[in-house]
Protein backbone atom coordinates (compact mmCIF):
# COMPACT_ATOMS: atom_id res chain seq x y z
CA UNK A 1 0.00 0.00 0.00
CA UNK A 2 1.43 3.43 -0.92
CA UNK A 3 2.34 6.04 1.67
CA UNK A 4 -0.15 8.79 2.37
CA UNK A 5 0.62 11.71 0.06
CA UNK A 6 -0.21 15.41 0.08
CA UNK A 7 1.41 17.46 -2.69
CA UNK A 8 0.86 20.74 -0.81
CA UNK A 9 2.67 19.40 2.26
CA UNK A 10 5.62 18.46 0.03
CA UNK A 11 5.66 21.98 -1.46
CA UNK A 12 5.68 23.41 2.06
CA UNK A 13 8.66 21.22 3.01
CA UNK A 14 10.51 22.22 -0.15
CA UNK A 15 9.98 25.94 0.44
CA UNK A 16 11.57 25.63 3.89
CA UNK A 17 14.82 24.30 2.39
CA UNK A 18 17.59 26.91 2.09
CA UNK A 19 18.61 25.59 -1.36
CA UNK A 20 15.14 26.19 -2.81
CA UNK A 21 14.51 29.65 -4.22
CA UNK A 22 11.16 28.63 -5.75
CA UNK A 23 8.99 25.52 -5.63
CA UNK A 24 5.96 25.19 -7.86
CA UNK A 25 3.46 22.56 -8.82
CA UNK A 26 3.60 22.17 -12.60
CA UNK A 27 0.98 19.46 -12.93
CA UNK A 28 -1.69 17.75 -10.88
CA UNK A 29 -3.65 15.13 -12.79
CA UNK A 30 -5.99 13.15 -10.55
CA UNK A 31 -8.44 10.69 -12.05
CA UNK A 32 -10.38 8.28 -9.84
CA UNK A 33 -7.73 6.21 -8.05
CA UNK A 34 -4.63 7.55 -9.83
CA UNK A 35 -2.71 10.77 -9.45
CA UNK A 36 0.24 12.23 -11.36
CA UNK A 37 2.13 15.18 -9.88
CA UNK A 38 5.06 17.20 -11.18
CA UNK A 39 6.94 19.76 -9.08
CA UNK A 40 9.85 21.99 -10.12
CA UNK A 41 12.30 23.53 -7.68
CA UNK A 42 14.62 26.33 -8.69
CA UNK A 43 17.73 26.03 -6.57
CA UNK A 44 20.53 28.24 -5.35
CA UNK A 45 22.74 28.65 -7.38
CA UNK A 46 20.07 29.46 -9.97
CA UNK A 47 21.46 27.29 -12.79
CA UNK A 48 20.29 24.18 -10.90
CA UNK A 49 16.78 22.72 -10.86
CA UNK A 50 15.19 19.71 -9.23
CA UNK A 51 12.19 18.12 -10.93
CA UNK A 52 10.05 15.82 -8.82
CA UNK A 53 7.44 13.45 -10.21
CA UNK A 54 5.02 11.27 -8.28
CA UNK A 55 2.56 8.70 -9.59
CA UNK A 56 0.14 7.36 -7.00
CA UNK A 57 -2.30 4.52 -7.56
CA UNK A 58 -4.21 2.26 -5.19
CA UNK A 59 -1.33 -0.23 -5.16
CA UNK A 60 1.87 1.70 -5.78
CA UNK A 61 3.68 4.97 -5.41
CA UNK A 62 6.34 5.77 -8.00
CA UNK A 63 8.70 8.71 -7.67
CA UNK A 64 11.52 10.44 -9.48
CA UNK A 65 13.76 13.27 -8.24
CA UNK A 66 16.05 14.64 -10.95
CA UNK A 67 18.77 17.24 -10.35
CA UNK A 68 19.98 19.05 -13.47
CA UNK A 69 21.43 22.23 -14.91
CA UNK A 70 22.03 22.16 -18.67
CA UNK A 71 22.13 18.34 -18.39
CA UNK A 72 21.09 15.67 -15.92
CA UNK A 73 23.31 15.40 -12.84
CA UNK A 74 21.59 12.84 -10.64
CA UNK A 75 18.27 11.02 -10.35
CA UNK A 76 16.60 8.98 -7.64
CA UNK A 77 13.66 6.78 -8.56
CA UNK A 78 11.88 3.54 -7.76
CA UNK A 79 11.04 2.24 -11.21
CA UNK A 80 11.28 -1.53 -10.62
CA UNK A 81 14.05 -2.45 -13.07
CA UNK A 82 17.18 -2.93 -10.92
CA UNK A 83 16.13 -5.96 -8.89
CA UNK A 84 19.68 -6.96 -7.89
CA UNK A 85 20.38 -3.78 -5.88
CA UNK A 86 20.02 -3.55 -2.11
CA UNK A 87 16.82 -1.70 -1.23
CA UNK A 88 15.34 -2.45 -4.66
CA UNK A 89 13.43 -0.85 -6.32
CA UNK A 90 14.90 2.36 -4.83
CA UNK A 91 17.98 3.42 -6.77
CA UNK A 92 20.23 6.36 -7.67
CA UNK A 93 21.65 7.36 -11.07
CA UNK A 94 24.89 9.40 -11.01
CA UNK A 95 27.98 9.51 -13.25
CA UNK A 96 26.72 6.73 -15.54
CA UNK A 97 26.31 4.38 -12.55
CA UNK A 98 23.22 3.02 -10.86
CA UNK A 99 23.44 2.24 -7.15
CA UNK A 100 21.03 1.50 -4.35
CA UNK A 101 19.49 4.52 -2.62
CA UNK A 102 18.27 5.07 0.93
CA UNK A 103 14.90 6.38 -0.20
CA UNK A 104 11.77 4.62 0.99
CA UNK A 105 8.93 5.93 -1.15
CA UNK A 106 7.71 8.16 1.69
CA UNK A 107 8.01 11.65 0.13
CA UNK A 108 8.09 13.55 3.42
CA UNK A 109 11.17 11.60 4.54
CA UNK A 110 12.70 11.19 1.09
CA UNK A 111 12.73 14.94 0.32
CA UNK A 112 15.08 15.44 3.28
CA UNK A 113 17.39 12.64 2.10
CA UNK A 114 17.41 13.95 -1.47
CA UNK A 115 18.33 17.45 -0.32
CA UNK A 116 21.11 16.09 1.84
CA UNK A 117 22.59 14.50 -1.29
CA UNK A 118 21.86 17.57 -3.44
CA UNK A 119 23.74 19.73 -0.92
CA UNK A 120 26.74 17.39 -1.17
CA UNK A 121 26.57 17.33 -4.97
CA UNK A 122 26.38 21.11 -5.29
CA UNK A 123 29.28 21.59 -2.89
CA UNK A 124 31.38 19.18 -4.97
CA UNK A 125 31.55 16.40 -2.40
CA UNK A 126 30.18 13.74 -4.81
Give residue 20's pLDDT: 96
Looking at residue 125, its pLDDT comes to 57
Q: Cα Rg for the chain, rounded, in angstroms? A: 14
Q: How many CB atoms lie within 10 A of CB 30?
A: 11
Write down the pLDDT at residue 83. Answer: 85
Burial class (CB in 10 A: 0-12, 13-18, 19+), 94: middle
Per-residue pLDDT, 3? 59
Q: How far apart are CA 64 and CA 62, in angstroms?
A: 7
Q: What is the pLDDT of residue 126?
A: 57
pTM score, two decimals? 0.92
Mean pLDDT by 10 residues, the chain (126 residues): 74 94 95 93 94 93 96 94 89 94 93 94 77
With residues binned 3-state (H G I as helix, E B as strand, rest as coil), the percentages for the chain, rounded to 5, are 20, 40, 40
Angle subtended at Cα 27 by Cα 81 and Cα 61, rounded to the nearest 5 degrees: 35
3-state secondary structure of 117: helix
Looking at residue 124, its pLDDT comes to 81
Amino acid sequence: MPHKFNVHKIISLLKKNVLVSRAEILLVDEIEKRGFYKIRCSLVPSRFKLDIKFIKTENEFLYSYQLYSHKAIARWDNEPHYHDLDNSPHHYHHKNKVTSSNLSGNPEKDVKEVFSKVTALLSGEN
